[in-house]
């Protein structure tokens, strides 16, 4: 009697077992229902591809060593306000609108970074004004110049800015550049890192990639932050990458990118610096020790000059909110949801990519149904075909609820802003999609101030004036094939 089992049956059994185990892992690990459902569809339709893809990009793996360093830097976040900011700077509840007390605590409970008073801010909305202001501050730097950007493309005006950083380093200013390995690939493969290093600039790569790293870490988790801190006194953040729109992605057919940045002074700048130092430190053990030495030996001695004993009267209340996949809670996602549910009169959002999950969609539609004026401004053309189709699948739901949709015609509107009721602004690097909420390292400014909110709202109105509105009846008259395509792509929206 032949008891041998054909190899084909063994391979088939192993294949089935592998798929079943992956399905069980998805059900166990994925707490977001939409994400779990999307992965199950892929596993059932494309089993082998689905198994490989899930173990490559299905879970936010950043490696054990990085996780340990991140725990140490999270403790740094938690102790930052206590050591670097006095109670005079974080005692803001009596100056903040009562309904925002809990909203600020949603973030501070996770990040350890509190809302602070005594800040000053200036909004920049054109590439020329952004680059000129950043150049002026870099050229005037005396002690330090810290840059962290997802994309660095050293062409046009950005080449001049990098030259200014090199000149600052040559005159003795401590200069560090941290750039994402994927977003700034062209920068790292060109001559600029060597040129900057020769000038004395410390150039660091964030989240490096490679075939071997793919086995241990998830390679599509990116550092999407944009940040410049000069002398610990001046900080910039917003949607602007170090990329000149006259050169960047000219063949994409979407027009020039339209961005915004906020120039900040005050205690919030120290929180921005904390985010920068933490991101540099978690890359490797050498960085961790170097950052700890720098903060102990140099930065603490500068604090008396950086912060006045008493914050100036009439300053802006603001809170820096860093978000990352390593956090136990999804701080920026939760902050946005709380802000939308707190809205009473109006919500205006600008975002280049809109692929919401169910809680965000419910927050927007229920706000519109209870009488809040909800306006969503997006670019008419984006550089991702899948995102374009997935976004459109949500239009009927939003329009039927009364949400106003405006498609910007003046280029790729890359600004990420949310204004609520004329006195609250969320401003930074976060897109309204699952990648920004759950995968990327992002940074946001929560601004509890009517004056700055009025400026951002005025800019939003300018964007809307360059947009065309989406009409619910015209949208329903389209060919039903478009709806089929868009809703099919929408099934994968939790993974985009």
- Reported as a single tens digit per residue, the pLDDT across 294-341 is 776 666 656 555 555 555 555 899 999 998 876 556 899 999 999 999
The answer for residues whose C-beta is within 8 angstroms of residue 52's C-beta and 6 or more apart is: none
Reduced to 3 states (helix: H, G, I; strand: E, B; else coil), residue 357 is coil
Cα–Cα distance measured from residue 282 to residue 171, given in angstroms and rounded to the nearest whole number: 28
pLDDT band at 103 (very low <50, low <70, confident <90, very high): confident
pLDDT the model gives residue 387: 75
Catalytic machinery residues:
224, 226, 231, 414, 416, 421
As a whole-number percent, the residues of the chain with pLDDT over 90 amount to 49
- How many degrees, rounded to 5, is the angle at CA 291 between CA 289 and CA 297? 100
Is the pLDDT at 1 greater than 50, yes or no?
A: no
Look up the pTM and report it: 0.85
| Cβ 215 vs Cβ 64: under 8 Å | no
Rg (CA), the chain: 23
pLDDT the model gives residue 434: 82
Look at the block and give the residue holding tokens 């596993």.
43
- Determine how many CB atoms are found less than 10 A away from the CB of residue 466: 16
Is the pLDDT at 486 greater than 60, yes or no?
A: no
Q: How far is CA 357 from the centre of its chain?
A: 17
Q: Per-residue b/e over 319-358, b at no fewer than 16 CB within 10 Å? A: bbbbbbbbbeebbbbbbbbbbbebbeeebbbbbbbbbbbe
- Reported as a single tens digit per residue, the pLDDT across 222-269 is 899 999 999 999 999 999 999 999 999 887 788 899 999 999 999 899
Across residues 117-136, what is the average pLDDT? 96
The answer for residues whose C-beta is within 8 angstroms of residue 294's C-beta and 6 or more apart is: 277
pLDDT the model gives residue 214: 58
- Reported as a single tens digit per residue, the pLDDT across 402-426 is 999 999 999 999 999 999 999 999 9
Cα–Cα distance measured from residue 425 to residue 422, given in angstroms and rounded to the nearest whole number: 8
Is the pLDDT at 345 greater than 90, yes or no?
A: yes
SS3 content of the chain, % helix, strand, coil (to 5): 50, 20, 30
- Determine how many CB atoms are found less than 10 A away from the CB of residue 252: 13
DSSP codes joined into one string, 387-426: HHHHHHTTHHHHHHHT-EEEEE-SSEE---EEEETTTEEE
> Within the chain, how many helices (H) and strands (E) appear?
22, 21
Cα–Cα distance measured from residue 222 to residue 279, given in angstroms and rounded to the nearest whole number: 12
Is the pLDDT at 165 greater than 60, yes or no?
A: yes
């Amino acid at each position: 009697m032949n008891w041998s089992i054909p190899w084909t049956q063994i391979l088939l059994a192993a294949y089935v077992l592998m798929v079943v185990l992956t399905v069980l892992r998805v059900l166990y690990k994925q707490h977001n229902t939409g994400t779990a459902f999307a992965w199950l569809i892929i596993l059932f339709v494309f089993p082998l591809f689905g198994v490989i893809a899930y173990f490559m990009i299905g879970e936010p793996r950043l490696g054990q060593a990085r996780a340990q360093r991140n725990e140490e830097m999270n403790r740094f976040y938690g102790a930052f306000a206590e050591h670097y900011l006095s109670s005079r700077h974080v005692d803001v509840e009596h100056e903040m609108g009562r309904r925002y007390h809990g909203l600020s605590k949603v973030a501070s409970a996770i990040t350890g970074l509190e809302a602070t008073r005594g800040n000053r801010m200036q909004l920049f909305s054109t590439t020329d004004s952004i680059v000129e202001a950043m150049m002026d501050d870099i050229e005037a730097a005396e002690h330090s110049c810290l840059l962290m950007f997802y994309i660095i493309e050293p062409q046009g005006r950005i080449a001049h800015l990098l030259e200014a950083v090199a000149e600052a380093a040559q005159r003795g200013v401590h200069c560090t550049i941290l750039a994402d390995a994927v977003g700034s690939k062209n920068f790292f493969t060109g001559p600029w890192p060597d040129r900057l290093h020769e000038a004395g600039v410390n150039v660091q790569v964030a989240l490096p990639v490679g075939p071997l790293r793919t086995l241990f870490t998830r390679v599509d988790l990116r550092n999407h932050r944009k940040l410049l801190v000069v002398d610990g006194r001046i900080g910039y953040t917003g949607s602007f990458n170090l990329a000149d729109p006259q050169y960047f992605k000219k063949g994409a057919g979407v027009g020039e990118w339209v961005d915004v940045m906020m120039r900040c002074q005050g205690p919030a700048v120290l929180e921005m610096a904390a985010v920068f130092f933490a991101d540099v430190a978690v890359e490797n053990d050498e960085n961790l020790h170097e950052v700890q030495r720098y903060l102990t030996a140099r930065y603490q001695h500068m604090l008396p000059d950086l912060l006045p004993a008493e914050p100036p009267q009439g300053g802006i209340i603001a809170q820096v909110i860093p978000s990352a996949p390593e956090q136990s809670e999804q701080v920026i996602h939760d902050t946005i949801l709380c802000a939308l549910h707190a809205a009473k009169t109006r919500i205006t959002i600008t975002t280049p990519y809109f692929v919401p999950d169910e809680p965000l969609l419910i927050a927007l539609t229920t706000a519109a149904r209870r009488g809040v004026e909800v306006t969503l401004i997006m670019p008419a053309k984006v550089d991702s075909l899948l995102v374009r189709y997935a976004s459109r699948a949500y239009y009927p739901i939003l329009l039927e609820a009364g949400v106003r949709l405006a498609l910007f015609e003046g280029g790729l509107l890359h600004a990420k802003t949310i204004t609520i009721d004329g006195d609250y602004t969320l401003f930074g690097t976060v897109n309204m999609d699952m990648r920004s909420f759950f995968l990327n390292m992002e940074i946001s400014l929560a601004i509890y101030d009517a004056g700055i909110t009025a400026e951002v709202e005025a800019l939003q109105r300018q964007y809307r004036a360059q947009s065309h509105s989406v009409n619910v009846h015209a949208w329903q008259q389209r060919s039903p094939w478009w709806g089929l395509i868009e809703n099919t792509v929408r099934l994968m929206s939790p993974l985009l």
